[in-house]
Amino acid sequence: MQTDFSLDDFPVGLVVTNLHSTEVLQASPYFYRLSQQQPLTTSKLGQFFTPASKILLESFVMPMLLHQGHCDEIQLTIDAGSSVRIPVLANARVVSGEPAIVYWAISPSQQRDTLYQQLVDLRNDLEIRAEKLEVLSRTDELTGLLNRRAFIQSAETLIKQAQRSGVAYAFFMLDIDFFKQINDQHGHAFGDQVLKDMAKILTENTRSNDIVARVGGEEFALVTFDQAEHSANFLAEKLLSAIRQQPIQGIMVTASIGCAIASHAPFEQLYKDADALLYQAKHQGRNRALCRLFDGS
């Protein structure tokens, strides 16, 4: 059994310095191999490090040693010459005496830094993926609008804000007329493009803070606040006019709209009321909008 041990065999740079002058009193061969420098008759600890690390030693590490007597896990960089920089981790302890001395343990941290950077990159990648998944979970894949679940969450929030502000809000339900015939005559790929173009028309003719969503096959929903009855009617007619004025995929497309306006009614009631108005609009011949003021207070 081996009983002879040497500190020179430890894979860590061991250094002893004067606390006040930082003169190197003793250093292990490993430290000199790590720093790729030769032992000098007189040297100070700072000369082994880059200018930035030397500043850190003088302005932070040494004052901490003077006040606390120890310093743990300080990241420094050794200047090994020829533009070689070696990241290291330093731990230091003060031993009182005359003169007071500091025991340093300095170990390379290149592998740790690489692993840390990999972990940072992985975390960033996971955060990006999580953000994308969050967007996907809230977005209708075909049109890029909010899906039904996200629409309900956003609309409920907007309605609560409007109620606190004391302003009216409107809930629109829009359905493309005779959409089944479009699919049957032109194919589902054509129908999908019609849905995309309809989504574009709706977003281009509403405000950025309005909430627009695709909530069913050919059914869209819109919630907007600060809407008096006349302005809700105006918006509904504006949307219908925009749809009528431009052929979608080369064919004329129309839509029907049901719109419920309120200042106190809850989301669920508005949804039900707008849907009923939409049904009436379609029953009365389609290509029209029906709006009604509803107060559920």
Active site residues: 218
SS3 89: strand
| Cα–Cα dist 11/67, whole Å | 29
Phi, psi of 130 (to 5 degrees): -65, -40
| Cα–Cα dist 79/3, whole Å | 36
197 close to 256: Cβ distance less than 8 angstroms: no
**Whole-angstrom distance between the N-terminal and C-terminal Cα of the chain?**
90
| Cα–Cα dist 73/110, whole Å | 14
Handedness of CA 70, 72, 75, 80 (dihedral sign): positive
209 close to 222: Cβ distance less than 8 angstroms: no
